[in-house]
Structure 1
Amino acid sequence: MEQLPKVAIVILNWNGLKYLQEFLPSVMSSQWDNLDVIVGDNGSTDASVEYISQNYPGIRIILNGENYGFTGGYNKVLAQVDADYYILLNSDVQVYPGWIKPVIDLMESDPLIAVAAPKIKSYQQKDHFEHAGAAGGFIDSFGYPFCRGRIFYQIEEDRGQYEQSDEVFWASGAAMFIKKKCWDEAHGFDDRFFAHMEEIDLCWRLKNKGYKVMYCAQSEVFHLGGGTLNTENPFKTYLNFRNNLLLLQKNLPFWRALVVITARYFMDLLAIFRFLTEGKRKDAWAVSLAHQNFVRHMFKTGHRDIDPKHNQNGMYRGCLVWDFFVKKKHTFSQLDKGKFYK
């Protein structure tokens, strides 16, 4: 009998004791005969490590010693993990026993599939998609990420409208399956991102190498979300805007990046104005700081020749801001299908 691929579920933890207590039981019920469960700890001070040691002796614990963020934390942990497939799983995700097999079967079907993700739904509202991933990630011409099932803050109810597994642009880091050889080839996450959009950058870099990113509709998980940085945190606003600019600079051909980043400068000015009108002065300042940091460090990312004919499947040749706020297209199905690269 042929041996199943070795799979490692790797959870990165930082002071997430309450999430481990709530969600680890479902993770430990995962069905796969060749499976390791690993928790990498980013210097927690809340007895997380002690809890795992006492209650789950079968879980391997890797200690980072301090908080290296999502990117640095995973890079350090996965350098010590041997498996055919990594599953990067947030500590606040509920899974069901058979959730692994459909995704691995899909990835085994094509050597060009590097990354895949299940359907990600809300833990608090289980008939709705969840912000971080939903039914697969996409990106527009100006670098705005969105999902089937979620555009900006508009989240759809799951009515069975996205039951077809398909190629997408990015897979959420909340529940990301990735082949180890592809992780190694891409050298993992970019440490500069710290957290937020690092998975989009990783997927984009792999697509620039000719690999595919997939959404698997036959598997679903439930994500609580906002466990480390909630949506009202100005630091999250800073990371999202700064990392988005870095994402564009790294992965677009030089002249295209120059045009798009220039356009984004003016579009982000509108975001600053919107935050100010809503009384969110700290978020407005966070957007400004994001641009300042990007400008100060932009020349540290050396120019690389990128083939403009790279795998663009999942990119939307339109302006999501215009479609959403002006044309009132609030769901994925309302977007012009002819504007998606295939």
Structure 2
Amino acid sequence: MAAAGQDNSPAAHGQAVDVVIVNWNAGDQLATCLQSLARFGDGLIRSVVVVDNGSTDGSADFEVPGLSLRIIRAGENLGFGRACNLGAADAAAPLLLFLNPDAAVLPDALSRAVAFMATPEADDIGVLGIQLIDEDGDVHHHSTDRASPRTMFTHAQRAVRFDHLHSREVDHVIGAFYLIRTELFRSLGGFDERFFVYLEDVDLSARVQDAGWRVHYLAEARAFHRGGGTSDQVKAKRLFYALRSRVLYGFKHFSFASAVAVTAATLLAEPGLRLGRAVMRRSMREVHETLGAYGRLYRDLPAILRAARRGRP
């Protein structure tokens, strides 16, 4: 029996989690996400920080009973990595969870994830992802192998070919539920803010491994994830940022020759393939989105390459 005044909660024994959520017009999805944390936090959550990237839908204008919630209003879209770093600046718990607003934790998800990270077998695990399911209960196959010049072009190329029903070591788990040791996150400098959105989590996982830590997928803990999220609202911009991040990642992690090859394929071969596919589908909207994304990519290429050079060893 606990002594009077003694706190035997998990958080009191060094198992607390700080949660960071980046919001951009997530609507009711954010409310559902936060309510899931309040309901299934299992006494583990020290704080929840929502970084609002200039939302205009009022999605960040509320409070959730039972949560130590702080909302940082950026006033503009800072991008995902920069917003995550801002939200994590005051993290004091041993573990830091980056959670998408279109995700929601399910019962025992946090307690199982945190308990696993406290086991001896997890001593050298720096990042943990868990099983993600959709509205139909189907399991997302979201873990990926480390990106290479041959697999940079789609998530499907990097996907790990297993059923995601069993736990195992992987190279990367997507940022929808990304649990990382806080001191490790800080020692690596957080997310690389040159990645406005896309591949910033892939880059961080690669750096985690390069620093001698492992990335693990835990099937015994589950969360809901809608997928797509608010990026569905701006498909042309989404494509532009995905292409931009690909170029940045290539010059940061590949040899110079391989990075040039990836960039050349992105700039010269892929546009024709995408436009051809759009024409075959008779989708003028997709044609306009593709032209808009690549037009911006070509215009911004000098600045992108300057940013990429800053990341080379």
TM-score bracket relative to the smaller structure: 0.7 to 0.9
Q: Which ranges of structure 1 fall in alignment gaps of 5 or more residues?
A: 306-342
Alignment pair present for 1:51 and 2:51: no
Among 59, 73, 98, the alignment partner of 1:64 is: 73
Among 101, 119, 138, the alignment partner of 1:127 is: 138
Report which stretch shifted further, 204-213 or 283-292. 283-292
Letter of the aligned partner of 2:228 in structure 1?
A: G
CA contact (8 A) 2:251 2:312 kept: no
Alignment pair present for 1:113 and 2:125: yes
Structure 2 equivalent of residue 86 of structure 1? 96
CA contact (8 A) 1:275 1:283 kept: no
Alignment pair present for 1:18 and 2:39: no
Structure 2 equivalent of residue 39 of structure 1? 49
Structure 2 equivalent of residue 298 of structure 1? 305
Q: What SS is found at the alignment partner of 1:215?
A: strand
Among 222, 229, 232, the alignment partner of 2:231 is: 229
Structure 2 equivalent of residue 256 of structure 1? 258
**TM-score for the superposition, normalised by structure 1:** 0.74
CA contact (8 A) 2:129 2:218 kept: yes
Structure 1 equivalent of residue 3 of structure 2? none
1:203–1:150 Cα change, 3 Å: closer
Structure 1 equivalent of residue 217 of structure 2? 215
Structure 2 equivalent of residue 308 of structure 1? none
1:174–1:303 Cα change, 3 Å: closer
Report which stretch shifted further, 190-199 or 236-245. 190-199
CA contact (8 A) 1:90 1:175 kept: yes
Structure 1 equivalent of residue 294 of structure 2? 287
CA contact (8 A) 1:275 1:284 kept: no
Q: What SS is found at the alignment partner of 1:238?
A: helix
Among 147, 155, 160, the alignment partner of 1:146 is: 155
Query: Paired residues, what number?
Result: 291
Describe the superposition over 1:14-64 as per-residue Cα deviations: whole angstroms up to 9, x where unpaired: 333412333322221224433224132324444444411xx4263321313
Structure 2 equivalent of residue 75 of structure 1? 85
Q: What SS is found at the alignment partner of 1:24?
A: helix
1:171–1:150 Cα change, 3 Å: closer
Q: Which ranges of structure 2 fall in alignment gaps of 5 or more residues?
A: 1-7
Structure 1 equivalent of residue 4 of structure 2? none
Letter of the aligned partner of 1:166 in structure 2?
A: R
Kindly state the Cα deviation for residue 99 of structure 1 after the two structures are TM-superposed: 0.4
Kindly state the Cα deviation for residue 144 of structure 1 after the two structures are TM-superposed: 3.1
Structure 2 equivalent of residue 103 of structure 1? 113
**TM-score for the superposition, normalised by structure 2:** 0.80
Q: What SS is found at the alignment partner of 2:207?
A: helix
Alignment of 1:308-323 (within 5 A): none
Letter of the aligned partner of 1:25 in structure 2?
A: Q
Describe the superposition over 1:244-273 as per-residue Cα deviations: whole angstroms up to 9, x where unpaired: 111111112333323443344444234343
Structure 2 equivalent of residue 182 of structure 1? 184
Kindly state the Cα deviation for residue 234 of structure 1 after the two structures are TM-superposed: 0.7
